[in-house]
Structure 1
Amino acid sequence: MTVSGFVFSQEAPLKFTEKVQKFGKVDEGKDVVLKYTFMNEGQEPILINEAKVNCTCTVVDYPEAPVSPNKVGQVTVTFHTESKIGYQERKIQLVTNLGTSEIVFKGVVKASQETKKEYKSNQ
């Protein structure tokens, strides 16, 4: 008899007003700050234990205390645009005591004058 084991991560009962946010166009070097508001639609308090990001340019602040059922919480994401040129898309995985949830942001970072000059001088 062969038994295969799979681990499925359960979606956390976080209901976001917007899971995907677009920040439009910003100048390189400016910080983009996005706020994600959510409601705990579960039956027990939810605690965000970790926010996984794929770039050190993204900083995530989330509630340290559990959010009770039917209560609202907020996650704040700061994206540092220095040296990030062109279309940008970042996914953030929120790991909670009740599963995981993902939020996303996207937009375009316009090169600064300094970056443009540097690029031209290297051509």
Structure 2
Amino acid sequence: MKKLITLLFLAAFTVTVSAQNAVAKMEFKTDEIDYGTIQKGSDGLRVFEFTNTGNAPLVITKINSSCGCTVPEWPKEPIAPGKTGKIQVKYDTTRVGPIRKTITVLSNSDTPTKVLKIKGTIIEASR
């Protein structure tokens, strides 16, 4: 009986240790996108691609942008280990001038806060 209890304890301990070592890890191809110089009214959609290089599902809980002119969209379902995901960012290109905005990603990753950046310049459309 003592042996059985010891075996059950070891099995439970192993499962607990394995669960404690599970971690999601979000790795981006790039953390900054440069729009370059684009004309007013151009397509403002850009995509940040990432991979979950951890060993637990990755969940993005929230994304904040530094301005209402930058609208992010992200996967609401968990990203499995080894799988990729995309965060789409749409900038309002009707505003002429420089672009310098941040998008803050909150998740269950080993680094729970990640700041992404967009930059560029919007000029008046040529006639």
TM-score normalised by L of structure 1: 0.74
The match for 1:20 is 32
Secondary structure of 2:44's counterpart equals strand
- Residue 112 of structure 1: CA displacement? 4.7
Overall identity of the aligned pairs, in %:
27
Question: How many residues are matched?
Answer: 101
| Residue correspondence of structure 1 range 42-81 to structure 2 within 5 A | 42-81=54-93
Gaps of 5+ in 2: 1-23
Say which of 46, 50, 54 aligns to 1:34: 46
User: 2-side partners of 1:102 and 1:22: how far apart?
Assistant: 15
Gaps of 5+ in 1: 1-11, 114-123
- Residue 31 of structure 1: CA displacement? 3.6
RMSD over aligned Cα atoms? 1.6
The one-letter code matched in structure 2 to 1:102 is V
User: 2-side partners of 1:34 and 1:77: how far apart?
Assistant: 5
The one-letter code matched in structure 2 to 1:106 is K
Which structure shows the higher helix fraction? 2
- 1:97 matched to 2:108: yes
The match for 2:97 is 86
Cα deviation code 1:21-64 (max 9, x no counterpart): 11111122334111111001222111111111111111111001
Cα deviation code 1:63-102 (max 9, x no counterpart): 01000111111111110122x2222111100011231112
The one-letter code matched in structure 2 to 1:57 is C
User: 2-side partners of 1:67 and 1:15: how far apart?
Assistant: 12
TM-score normalised by L of structure 2: 0.72
- 1:109 matched to 2:109: no
